[in-house]
Structure formats: structure tokens, C-alpha cells
């Protein structure tokens, strides 16, 4: 929705409301809900992508006149009728989205901001990295980190079976790293909550490779690691690339597991920002949480 509005009314405050409403006194609540849910249905449920933002924006001009106002939409059926009207106006401006091997469609674009904002609440399940290229010394792939990454994944999985975990590449985990990125790559970090978003496109340029090749290096490090199954296969199936605010990110989702996961037949746990190998009695106690 943001892309559609900004394609026609960039930087104009109140552009959405003035476009969809019939007058300055008309609330935008009803059309916003109907348009949002229509986008959700087309992009998430039907896995389509917006092909013509300009035409889509024109299609919803003064759409509030066609909708039942929110004060009168007392039933789910009435709300659904509003959504159906908007979807009918928009769907011809959408096209079937290609499904690249390394991405999982538009759902991640919606989930990405939520992942970033949830991190401070469940910090043990999240890891942010500015990328895989060293910021100090020679600008080359940090093989030490790539070798350590699968161990981090197993430790995040061992936090517990209650929720998924995430590793996100393209987010500086310290202000010092963000400043270094700006100095080296002329990329100013975008702040989202406490996090500093720098993207990984700059590292692709440094390495002279495409984003797909960059992602394969991360996949290769996971594939070639002594991480236990079924965690390894589950993680390999959940590596996504996402574009947000014009920058690319790689997101590894670590699905919640039903058993303790090992690395080189040893069990690790997160201890603050560090990793610690579990003692035998500790691993036995931790395994009971997964049953």
C-alpha cells in the first residue's frame, strides 16, 4: 500500500485519505481497513504482487463512496462486502508473483518489521548481523563467523520449543558497526526502534556478486555444518530474502523444535550475547522442556 501511494503522491501528508475519501470530513478508517485486507488477500493468500501501482491507485479514488461506513458495518458480512468491493477494483492490477528458490514470497515483507520490533522483547531468540563481510581489515567474507553461525542457530533453537527464532543479516548490532558501514560503504543506517538497518546490498557490491549468490554462501555454511537434524533441514527451508525501504536483507527463520538440537554432538545455549556449551546434567534438564 505504501509503495502504491508513494508512487503517485511521494512525501505528501494525508495523500491516502484525500485520495480515497469523498471529502475532507470523511473518515479514512473504513477504506483503509478494506484496502488493507484486500491487499492482504491478494498478496498473502493468493501470492500475487502489485504489477501496476499507478493504475491500482487510480482504481481506489473516492472508493469510500462505494463502501458501507464503519459505524454501520456491524456484521462480519458487511465488512467482507467492503473488502470484496475493493479487491474487485484492485485485482486486475496484480499479477502472479514469481517464487524464487531463495525467497518465500511477499509474506516476509509484512512480517519483517514485526521481527525487528519483537527482538528486544525476546532477545535470546534473535541475532542481528550487519553482514558476512568484515568491517575491519580486508573487506572479505568473515569465514570465522560463517563457521560459528550454525552453532548460534542451534543455541537459539535450544532456547525452548515455544516460538521460532531469527537471524537477520543487514542489521547492525552496534552503533559502532553502523558508523563503520557509513564510513566504508556510504550507507546511512535506518533506525527502526532500537535497531539500525543497513541492508546487505553494499556487501554484494563489495564482493561483486548477486544477492542470490550472497544468500547461497549463507546456505552453504549451514548445509556443510555438523548441525543435527531435523533442525538443519528445517532452517535450510526457511532462509528468505526481503526488500524493505529499498534495501535487501537475508532472514533465517529457526523453526521451533520438538527436541534439543546439537552441533558436533554437543549442545549449546545462549548466555547473553555469548554461547555456552551445556553440561551433561544441564542438557538432560533442558531436553525435558521439549517433551
pLDDT digits (tens, 9 = 90+) for 219-235: 999 999 999 999 999 99
Task: Read off the pLDDT of each residue in 243-255 and give the average, rounded to a whole number.
Answer: 92
How many percent of the chain have pLDDT more than 70? 85
Cis peptide before 117 (omega within 30 of 0): no
Q: How far apart are CA 158 and CA 125, in angstroms?
A: 9
pLDDT band at residue 27 using 50, 70 and 90 as cut-offs: low
Which residue, among 291, 279, 271, has the nearest Cα to 152 in the 3D structure? 271
Query: pLDDT tier at 266 (50, 70, 90 boundaries)?
Result: very high
On the question of pLDDT at 6 being above 70, the answer is no
Choice among 62-66, 168-172, 257-261 with the minimum mean pLDDT = 62-66
Q: How confident is the prediction for the chain on average, in pLDDT?
A: 85
β-partners of residue 126 are 166
The 10s digit of each residue's pLDDT in 75-90 is 677 888 888 998 999 8
Q: What pLDDT sits at residue 74? A: 53
Instruction: Taking residues 174-192, report their average pLDDT.
Output: 94
In the chain, DSSP finds a helix count (H) and a strand count (E) of 12, 11
- At residue 191, the pLDDT reads 92
List C-alpha distances in Å: 62 to 36, 59, 70.
16, 9, 16
Amino acid at each position: 500500500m505504501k509503495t502504491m501511494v508513494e508512487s503517485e503522491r511521494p512525501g505528501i501528508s494525508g495523500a491516502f485519505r484525500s485520495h480515497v475519501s469523498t471529502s475532507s470530513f470523511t473518515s479514512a478508517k473504513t477504506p483503509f481497513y478494506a484496502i488493507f485486507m484486500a491487499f492482504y488477500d491478494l498478496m498473502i493468500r493468493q501470492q500475487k504482487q502489485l504489477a501496476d501501482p499507478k493504475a491500482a491507485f487510480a482504481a481506489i479514488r473516492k472508493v469510500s463512496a462505494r463502501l458501507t461506513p464503519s459505524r454501520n458495518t456491524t456484521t462480519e458480512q458487511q465488512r467482507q462486502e467492503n473488502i470484496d468491493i475493493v479487491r474487485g477494483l484492485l485485482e486486475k492490477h496484480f499479477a502472479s508473483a514469481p517464487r524464487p528458490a531463495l525467497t518465500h514470497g511477499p509474506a516476509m515483507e509484512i512480517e519483517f518489521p514485526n521481527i525487528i520490533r519483537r527482538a528486544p522483547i525476546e532477545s535470546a531468540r534473535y541475532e542481528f548481523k550487519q553482514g558476512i563481510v568484515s568491517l575491519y581489515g580486508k573487506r572479505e567474507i568473515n569465514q570465522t563467523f560463517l563457521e560459528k553461525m550454525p552453532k548460534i542457530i542451534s543455541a537459539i533453537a535450544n532456547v525452548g520449543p515455544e516460538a521460532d527464532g531469527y537471524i537477520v543479516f543487514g542489521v547492525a548490532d552496534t552503533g559502532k558497526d553502523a558508523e563503520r558501514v557509513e564510513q566504508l560503504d556510504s550507507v546511512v543506517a535506518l533506525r527502526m526502534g532500537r535497531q539500525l538497518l543497513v541492508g546487505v546490498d553494499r556487501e554484494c557490491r563489495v564482493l561483486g556478486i548477486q544477492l542470490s549468490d550472497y544468500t547461497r554462501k549463507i546456505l552453504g555454511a549451514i548445509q556443510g555444518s555438523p548441525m543435527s537434524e531435523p533442525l538443519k533441514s528445517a532452517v535450510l527451508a526457511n532462509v528468505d530474502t526481503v526488500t524493505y525501504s529499498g534495501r535487501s536483507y537475508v532472514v533465517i527463520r529457526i523453526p521451533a523444535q520438538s527436541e534439543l538440537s546439537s552441533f558436533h554432538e554437543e549442545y549449546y545455549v545462549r548466555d547473553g550475547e555469548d554461547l555456552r556449551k551445556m553440561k551433561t546434567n544441564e542438557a538432560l534438564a533442558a531436553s525435558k522442556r521439549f517433551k
